[in-house]
Chain A
Amino acid sequence: MRLLGLTRFSRGNFAAAAVTVMAAALPMTAQVNLTGAGATFPAPIYQKWFSDYQSIGHVQINYQAIGSGGGIKSVTEGTVDFGASDAALTDAQIQNFKDKHNGHTILLFPTVLGAAVPTYNIPGVTQQLNFTPQALAGIYLGTITKWNDKEIASANPGVKLPSTDIVVIHRSEGSGTTYCWTDYLSKVSPEWKSKVGKNASVDWPTGLGAKGNDGVAGLLKQQAGSIGYVELIYAVQNHLPFGKVKNASGEFVKADLASVTAAAGALKEMPADFRVSITNETGKGVYPISTFTWLLVPSQWSDQGKKNAMVSFLKWAITTGQNSVEALDYAKLPASVVAKEQKQIADIQ
């Protein structure tokens, strides 16, 4: 037995050695490995991009969807090559990165756009509801507690709203969707801004916490008279009813790929570092609860092979890569943003 085992072992070794020799003899196209971590919301499109790009650029990119906060932490600590986040980095987070990397900064590259939509389950109501910013803020502050409240009713003429209690549902775990939602509420409601504020998770004045988009949808389905918010993509793919939201121009807009891209296009001035919130933008057909999602790329790389791979991937993602985003229900970047990003890519050293 032992003899047999030994033979097998050495045979395996020979095979491995043979493969190594053959591999060395072949003309090598150097395979570069990049590792990234961060936001879960854009993970499906990132995975598709990375797998598509592997055959084009000969780059193996591993992406861990651990959440935006985790992505920022990992790239700051240098445990991954790049990060990804649904919320723009704060000044403090950038300073923290600089402190740990000899003053070299981190660059933010918008990749796609997403949105948060109000979804609801009201027995007897089949029409698409209209929500004013005041209605959404009031509901989530707990000051509007009945479905037939005049703030909701006046925006929905012809809809017979019940007099039942509103059951508020929010995400329980920290998420970019919550950041986008609370960022919007902070802009439209001074009371929300002072009492609650914006963050990936906040101290909710009212409501139930459910884990993930699927948790919110699951709870919503069971609880009559409930309202929640989910990512646009999740609502579209799961055929959830969701309401229109009144934008800053006074128009009720349904979230879709065009109205979300319009929100980015409506931006008057894109700051040089792309750190911008596009909630509550003014403009025709603009969906107000929209957001960019960003790749976080260090400006200074010690490994030139990795740097070149990162740069060529970024160039590809914001140009050719944009063609495949709508198939996965992401909104693509407006051309003006792409042009600006291409300039920033040159800053990667």
Chain B
Amino acid sequence: MASSSYITDILRRPPERTFLGRLKAGDEISYLTTLACAASILLIVGLIVAELWTKSQPTVQTFGWKFLSTSTWNPNSDQYGALPFIYGTCVTSAVALIISIPLGVGAAIFLAEMAPPRLSNMLTFLIELLAAVPSVIYGLLGIFILVPLIREYLVPALRNTFGYLPIFEGPFYGVSMLSAGLVLAVMVVPFIVSVSREVLLAVPTDQREAALALGATKWETTWDIVLPNASTGILGSVFLALARALGETMAVTMVIGNTPKIAASLFAPGYSIAAVIANEFAEANGKLYISSLIFLGLVLFGLTIVINAVARILILMTTRKAA
């Protein structure tokens, strides 16, 4: 019959290979769109690096690698060295992570594993609110509330217990790398808690049930089964925190003391890369001065990449060992 042959005709027809026909499928559209999104991010990063590199040429040509290893920063004699800023950035971020990792992961474990769901949701909401507080507020809280507390309680306590360590020596003026590290710790904790909690919740319930069925206690289950499963994700949250700590500007500049000197003591004032750029860029005059500040931006970029790479290698090594 005519009608049946028409239907079989359609069924036999090979799928359309024209461009429009392919587009109808939707796969290609989504592929191209998402590809464009991904490419645009790469493009932005590439453009930033290229722009920083071209604008920092005067500094590169004048100082070369010495820029990274000298510690004079004198706009009047046009001498620029980045070492104190690199040092300050690394030290404050390290202090922040040393405090915030145990605190953040501990809180995440409680919220994901121990707390009743309703309490957990409420607390998580509150912690995420912390992430939305503008950094200038953290800076003000730091200088007016945290610094007096540190001066009153923390510094004497550290002096009495670990005073023999060079990192807790010398006079304390309130603003210091220690204060900056503590303020940063408060600022990055929400990132660690929020992401780590999600990761812990994503560990399949079967795993927990299996461990419990084998006679493990609740804590053994968490420590030996859930945490190892979530370790990569937790490390991811730490990277996020680290990125925030490295790049934080406003809060740091308010409590770090803004002194480009390298001191072993955490009580001493320091300076960070982001802080010096924010402080001096608007008033910078002179080609070499501006280009040195721009080069500092590139250094911060590089520093972030290096630290991330090192951390990633560390993960690879630990996971391989575990395997």
Give the shortest distance, in Å, between B283 (CB) and chain A (any CB): 2
User: At the interface, is chain A mostly helix, strand, loop or mixed?
Assistant: loop
Q: Please name the residue on chain B nearest to A67 by beta carbon.
A: B282
Give the shortest distance, in Å, between B142 (CB) and chain A (any CB): 10
B103 interfacial by beta-carbon distance below 8 Å: no
Known: A218-B143, A219-B174. A208 touches B257 (CB 8 A): yes
B285 to A200, Cβ gap below 8 A?
A: yes
Q: Please name the residue on chain A nearest to B139 by beta carbon.
A: A211
A138 interfacial by beta-carbon distance below 8 Å: no
- B-chain residues with CB within 8 Å of residue A207 when the two chains form the complex: 259
Give Cα distance in the complex from A67 to B258, angstroms.
Answer: 19
B258 to A209, Cβ gap below 8 A?
A: yes
Chain B, range 82-97, C-beta contacts under 8 Å to A:
none
A174 interfacial by beta-carbon distance below 8 Å: yes
A326 interfacial by beta-carbon distance below 8 Å: no
Give Cα distance in the complex from A90 to B285, angstroms.
Answer: 10
Tell which of B77, B173, B254, B259 has the most Cβ of chain A within 10 Å.
B173
Selecting from B67-75, B186-194, B237-245, B297-305, the interface stretch reads B67-75
Known: A219-B143, A219-B174. A197 touches B76 (CB 8 A): yes
Known: A200-B285, A201-B75, A203-B73. A208 touches B258 (CB 8 A): yes
B76 to A203, Cβ gap below 8 A?
A: yes
Chain A, range 84-128, C-beta contacts under 8 Å to B:
90, 93
Give Cα distance in the complex from A93 to B148, angstroms.
Answer: 44
- Chain B, residues 27-71, CB within 8 Å of chain A (1/0): the string is 000000000000000000000000000000000000000000000
B319 interfacial by beta-carbon distance below 8 Å: no
A69 to B283, Cβ gap below 8 A?
A: yes
B76 to A174, Cβ gap below 8 A?
A: no
Give Cα distance in the complex from A337 to B77, angstroms.
Answer: 34
Known: A173-B279, A196-B76. A222 touches B285 (CB 8 A): no
B144 interfacial by beta-carbon distance below 8 Å: yes
Known: A173-B278, A210-B175, A211-B254. A200 touches B283 (CB 8 A): yes
B147 interfacial by beta-carbon distance below 8 Å: yes
- Chain A, residues 68-95, CB within 8 Å of chain B (1/0): the string is 1110100000000000000000100100
Give the shortest distance, in Å, between B78 (CB) and chain A (any CB): 11
B259 to A201, Cβ gap below 8 A?
A: no
Chain A, range 51-76, C-beta contacts under 8 Å to B:
66-70, 72
Q: How large is the interface on B (under 10, 10 to 19, 20 to 34, 35 or more residues)?
A: 20 to 34
A201 to B175, Cβ gap below 8 A?
A: no
B76 to A69, Cβ gap below 8 A?
A: no
A172 to B253, Cβ gap below 8 A?
A: yes
Give Cα distance in the complex from A276 to B193, angstroms.
Answer: 57
Give the shortest distance, in Å, between A216 (CB) and chain B (any CB): 11
A67 to B283, Cβ gap below 8 A?
A: yes
A247 interfacial by beta-carbon distance below 8 Å: no
B181 interfacial by beta-carbon distance below 8 Å: no
Known: A199-B75, A211-B254. A69 touches B144 (CB 8 A): no
A167 interfacial by beta-carbon distance below 8 Å: yes
- A-chain residues with CB within 8 Å of residue B148 when the two chains form the complex: 222
- A-chain residues with CB within 8 Å of residue B14 when the two chains form the complex: none
Give Cα distance in the complex from A207 to B254, angstroms.
Answer: 15
A175 interfacial by beta-carbon distance below 8 Å: yes
Give Cα distance in the complex from A200 to B144, angstroms.
Answer: 27
- A-chain residues with CB within 8 Å of residue B104 when the two chains form the complex: none
Known: A72-B285, A174-B280, A203-B73. A208 touches B254 (CB 8 A): no
B131 interfacial by beta-carbon distance below 8 Å: no
B171 interfacial by beta-carbon distance below 8 Å: yes
Chain B, range 238-295, C-beta contacts under 8 Å to A:
253-254, 257-260, 269, 271, 275, 278-280, 282-285
- A-chain residues with CB within 8 Å of residue B173 when the two chains form the complex: 167, 208, 223
- A-chain residues with CB within 8 Å of residue B259 when the two chains form the complex: 204, 207-209
- In the complex, besides A201-B280, A203-B77, 4 extra interface pairs with C-beta distance below 8 angstroms are A201-B75, A209-B271, A210-B175, A222-B174
| Cross-chain pairs A/B with CB under 8 angstroms, 26 sampled | A69-B284, A70-B282, A93-B285, A172-B279, A173-B278, A174-B282, A197-B77, A200-B283, A202-B76, A203-B73, A203-B74, A203-B260, A208-B173, A208-B259, A209-B257, A210-B175, A210-B258, A211-B253, A211-B258, A215-B254, A218-B144, A219-B174, A222-B143, A222-B147, A222-B148, A223-B173
